[in-house]
């Protein structure tokens, strides 16, 4: 099992979907199969994490020729960075399937299993063409879920997200093909393996353009301000499982792409782009917060909130000091759990009240106390509630920002303040006051509480006991950072 455990983790959901499709499984069997594949994958990922060596670099590597003459290979592995996101994916899928318990449209379940394979494969790929393949694979189910199962202008929004994502993907593909071509001219053989391509050097102008090809794809996926026009409409018209995946996992893959391939291939050129990315991130922190304050739709409000926190993660990544890097990696996890929780709660709210407009809600606290507790907890966790992982992560990034530059630190610190402002303003209107809705105020069921409790526990555990988690990634994180700092020092 140790030799091919990553392949099993990647393809188990896909093979389960294919098998269930071939036997034309009824919806009950389809639900059981999807849940089984997610739980089995979770156990395999837990096994991988248990045997993961924090000092060991890239581990559980599988490398086999795929298309020999073209240098493309099936090359996967896991290190501290991919392990964090791999854990997120495996931990979030079972609660999502529990949320979907009453969903009887088969396409929902098939698309979710395909989506899990796509995002997992992208995180574990160490061959750039393989990464691109999985990057595109995870787009197709989202396109179908928004276009077929969404609401409002869902078909328009599904086309918008796919066109913008394809624009970024094509720019990244051009960069990948050109780098492979340069490697062939330099060495005499084709290869798209990251470990091989990282040995190449380019002149400054070429490197700037190649880096831009990758950055465009990742900036749209995050999304950084200026590349975000698809975000709020897509979140507003998507079914809840798709929103959770986009916010908690897919957006993080934009950060992961910069971390893995940006710093893996073009660390010197990223120094050139760093002021631009830092500026966009700082603008995003404030712009998204202002849009969140003025937004009446809960899904769109938390879409802008996610944009603000993803900008904070990107900012920490480009500040290149240990506090900022540790905070960014920690916030990837903490924000994933919190955003998954709040979007699931918004989905449960829509099922009860048939609206997610803040102005149409109110008085929930007096009639549904359990619902109120979980909704308020996840909302405040987004804002960095002390005792949750988000507080620890944001504090580390703010310390790293002050270490880099006093004024950057001041602007970064406004994230917590602005988040508290729009979160408390929303909670006051949504949970308290006079009810604006005649719907039945049904409190959370036992099934729904069981679905939400793991997310609450994870947020509290990462906030109260961060020392349980940081040893997993700190040694390799420090080693990676020192290499980047050395490169930056050589440029100076």
Which tens digits make up the pLDDT trace of 133-144? Answer: 999 998 888 888
Token digits for 159?
């086309």
- Mean pLDDT across the chain, nearest whole number? 90
Rounded distance between C-alpha atoms, residue 475 and residue 38, angstroms = 30
Determine contact, residues 160/148, Cβ cutoff 8 Å: no
Element counts in the chain: helices (H) and strands (E): 22, 2
Q: Above pLDDT 90, what percent of the chain?
A: 58
Determine contact, residues 92/242, Cβ cutoff 8 Å: no
Q: What single-letter DSSP state applies at residue 58?
A: S
pLDDT score, position 50: 92
Average pLDDT on 402-427 reads 89
Average pLDDT on 155-182 reads 90
Residue with tokens 């099922």: 351
The pLDDT tens digits for 315-327 are 999 998 889 999 9
Rounded distance between C-alpha atoms, residue 131 and residue 139, angstroms = 13
Rounded distance between C-alpha atoms, residue 10 and residue 60, angstroms = 13
Average pLDDT on 99-104 reads 89
Look at residue 436 and tell me whether its pLDDT is greater than 90: no
The pLDDT tens digits for 232-269 are 888 888 889 999 999 999 999 999 999 999 888 888 88
Cβ-Cβ contacts under 8 Å for 276 (sequence gap 6 or more): none
Q: Angle at which helices 446-464 and 369-382 pack, to 10 degrees?
A: 30
pLDDT score, position 27: 93
pLDDT score, position 440: 65
Prior bond to 223 cis, omega within 30?
yes
Phi, psi of 297 (to 5 degrees): -85, 125
* DSSP state letters, 427-469: HHHHHSSS----S--PPPPHHHHHHHHHHHHHHHHHHH-GGGT
Average pLDDT on 80-90 reads 93
Average pLDDT on 272-288 reads 91
Rounded distance between C-alpha atoms, residue 328 and residue 454, angstroms = 22
**Strand runs labelled E in 33-145:** 59-67, 72-78
- Kindly report the number of other CB atoms within 10 A of residue 294's CB atom: 9
Phi, psi of 18 (to 5 degrees): -65, -45
Q: Which residues of 194-209 are buried (b: 16+ CB within 10 A; e: fewer)?
A: bebbeeeebeeeebee
pLDDT band at 490 (very low <50, low <70, confident <90, very high): low
Rounded distance between C-alpha atoms, residue 288 and residue 286, angstroms = 6
Three-state secondary structure call for residue 43: helix
Classify the phi-psi angles of 24: left when phi > 0, otherwise alpha if psi is within -120 to 50, otherwise beta.
left
* DSSP state letters, 167-185: HHHHHHHHHHHHHHHHHHH
Rounded distance between C-alpha atoms, residue 195 and residue 445, angstroms = 50
CA atoms within 13 A on the CB side of 59: 17
Determine contact, residues 235/275, Cβ cutoff 8 Å: no
Average pLDDT on 446-474 reads 90
Determine contact, residues 126/194, Cβ cutoff 8 Å: yes
pLDDT score, position 438: 61
CA atoms within 13 A on the CB side of 323: 13
Integer Rg of the chain from CA: 22
**What's the farthest any 2 CA atoms get from each other in the chain?**
73
Rounded distance between C-alpha atoms, residue 213 and residue 207, angstroms = 10
The pLDDT tens digits for 148-167 are 888 877 788 888 888 888 88
Residue with tokens 């990676």: 480
Average pLDDT on 42-50 reads 95
Token digits for 121?
């494969």
Average pLDDT on 281-307 reads 92
Q: What single-letter DSSP state applies at residue 203?
A: -
> Considering the entire predicted model, what is its pTM?
0.92
pLDDT score, position 70: 83
Determine contact, residues 398/409, Cβ cutoff 8 Å: yes
Provide the β-strand partners of residue 357: 297
Average pLDDT on 332-345 reads 94
Look at residue 182 and tell me whether its pLDDT is greater than 70: yes
Look at residue 492 and tell me whether its pLDDT is greater than 60: no
């Amino acid at each position: 099992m140790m030799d091919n455990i990553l392949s099993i983790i990647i393809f188990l959901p896909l093979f389960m979907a294919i098998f269930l499709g071939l036997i034309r499984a009824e919806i009950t069997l389809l639900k059981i199969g999807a849940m089984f594949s997610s739980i089995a994958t979770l156990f395999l990922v837990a096994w991988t994490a248990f045997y993961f060596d924090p000092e060991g670099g890239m581990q559980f590597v599988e490398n086999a020729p795929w298309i020999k003459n073209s240098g493309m290979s099936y090359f996967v592995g896991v290190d501290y960075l991919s392990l964090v996101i791999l854990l997120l994916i495996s931990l979030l899928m079972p609660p999502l399937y529990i949320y979907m318990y009453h969903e009887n449209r088969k396409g929902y379940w098939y698309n979710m299993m395909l989506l899990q394979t796509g995002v997992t494969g992208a995180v574990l790929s160490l061959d750039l063409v393989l990464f691109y393949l999985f990057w595109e694979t995870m787009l197709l189910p989202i396109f179908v879920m928004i276009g077929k199962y969404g609401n409002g202008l869902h078909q328009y929004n599904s086309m918008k997200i796919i066109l913008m994502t394809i624009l970024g993907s094509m720019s990244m593909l051009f960069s990948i093909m050109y780098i492979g071509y340069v490697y062939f001219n330099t060495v005499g053989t084709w290869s798209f393996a990251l470990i091989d391509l990282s040995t190449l050097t380019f002149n400054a102008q070429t490197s700037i353009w190649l880096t831009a090809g990758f950055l465009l794809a990742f900036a749209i996926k995050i999304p950084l301000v200026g590349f975000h026009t698809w975000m709020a409409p897509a979140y507003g018209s998507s079914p809840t499982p798709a929103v959770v995946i986009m916010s908690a996992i897919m957006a993080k893959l934009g950060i992961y792409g910069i971390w893995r391939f940006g710093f893996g291939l073009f660390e010197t050129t990223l120094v050139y782009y760093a002021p631009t990315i830092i500026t966009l991130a700082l603008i995003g922190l404030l712009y998204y917060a202002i849009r969140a304050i003025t937004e009446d739709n809960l899904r769109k409000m938390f879409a802008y909130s996610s944009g603000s926190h993803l900008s904070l993660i990107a900012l920490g990544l480009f500040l290149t000091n240990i506090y900022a890097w540790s905070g960014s990696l920690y916030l990837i996890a903490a924000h994933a759990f919190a955003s998954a929780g709040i979007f699931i709660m918004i989905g449960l709210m829509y099922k009860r009240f048939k609206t997610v407009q803040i102005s149409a809600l109110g008085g929930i606290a007096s009639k549904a106390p359990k619902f109120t507790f979980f909704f308020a907890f996840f909302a405040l966790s987004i804002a960095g509630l002390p005792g949750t992982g988000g507080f620890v992560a944001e504090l580390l990034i703010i310390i790293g920002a002050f270490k880099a530059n006093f004024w950057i630190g001041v602007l970064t610190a406004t994230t917590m303040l602005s988040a508290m402002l729009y979160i408390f303003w929303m909670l006051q209107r949504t949970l308290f006051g006079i009810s604006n809705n005649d719907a039945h105020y049904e409190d959370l069921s036992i099934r729904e509480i069981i679905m939400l409790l793991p997310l609450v526990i994870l947020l509290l555990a990462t906030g109260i006991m961060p020392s349980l988690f940081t040893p997993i990634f700190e040694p390799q994180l420090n080693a990676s950072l020192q290499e980047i700092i050395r490169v930056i020092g050589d440029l100076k």
